[in-house]
Amino acid sequence: MIASLPNLRLGYDVAGSGPPALLIMGLAVNRGGWELQVERWRQTHTCITFDNRGIGESDTPPGRYSTDQMADDAAALLQLLGVDRAEVVGISMGGMIAQKLALRAPKRVRSLTLLATHGGGLASTPPAATVAHYVAMQAARSPDARFKHFAKLLFSDRFLEDNHPTLRHRMMTGPLKDPQSMRGFRGQFAAVSGHRTGRALRALAGTPTLLMHGTADACVRPLNVRLLKSWMPWAHTSVLDRVGHGINVEAADAVNDTVSRFWAGK
């Protein structure tokens, strides 16, 4: 489906029934990246997934994007759908957008789940190898080359070795089916690079919050979950050993179960 917002069109899907849950995806991945979560959470919640500006069925405006701007996109989508409040889940860049959504439109956020993300600052600078893989992924001319770099970014070596054929099929028919344009990638990468929340997150005290991160994350250093916790001391925290950046795929059962318990226990 396509949502026509005041200055942007967003591709989105709605699945399931029950209280609304807004799922915000990360850099260079379309809404299909939430497949394993929607399969589970649609049993108890109305799952709203969408393509961020710059990818998939959504518009790709020129120029640099910001997480403030993208949070406003998410809020406008909720308003269009008549959703007053939602459980908000964000991964990586989506977690940054979720932070800004909670700060800019706190009444829209029933709870906040932040997966494999950061609040800005020096610790958020990605390793050089990570940036190199992202650039190579965008420049790749073949699906196999694109998947090679994508997989190195998202998954631990152990998980990739054990699940390569299944992962390749899932990624090539879902999140990587339609390659992102360079304009969209540059816009989104600018949003990630310019993201800053840090101590401002203390203003969210009282918002039920869950933080999850993997110790083998090659994109967002695990140090960042400790920093988020220092700014959000009320948050529940779950750190998964030897899990990579694509925590919602590599540890899908753990993520699905932990978030479901979190929602039920608020």
CATH number, domain of 244, equals: 3.40.50.1820
Within a 10 A sphere around the Cβ of 68, how many other Cβ atoms?
A: 17
Check residue 142 and give its pLDDT: 79
Within a 10 A sphere around the Cβ of 62, how many other Cβ atoms?
A: 7
Check residue 175 and give its pLDDT: 66
**Average pLDDT over the chain, rounded to whole?**
93
CA distance 120 to 110: 23
| pLDDT tens-digit series, residues 48-84 | 999 999 999 999 999 999 999 999 999 999 999 999 9
| pLDDT tens-digit series, residues 19-33 | 999 999 999 999 999
SS3 240: strand
- Give the CA dihedral 231, 95, 241, 153, nearest 10 degrees: -130
Decide if pLDDT at 16 tops 80. Answer: yes
| pLDDT tens-digit series, residues 239-260 | 999 999 999 999 999 999 999 9
Strand 109-115 with 86-91, pairing: parallel
Q: Which residue has the higher pLDDT, 185 or 146?
A: 185
Check residue 206 and give its pLDDT: 94
SS3 231: helix
Decide if pLDDT at 140 tops 90. Answer: no
What would the mean pLDDT of 180-203 be, rounded to a whole number? Answer: 95
What angle (nearest 5°) sits at the alpha carbon of residue 225, between those of residues 77 and 192?
Answer: 45
Looking at the 3D structure of the chain, how many domains does it have?
Answer: 1
CA distance 199 to 6: 32
What would the mean pLDDT of 138-151 be, rounded to a whole number? Answer: 81
User: Which residue range is the domain that position 59 belongs to?
Assistant: 2-265
DSSP β-bridge partners for residue 14: 48
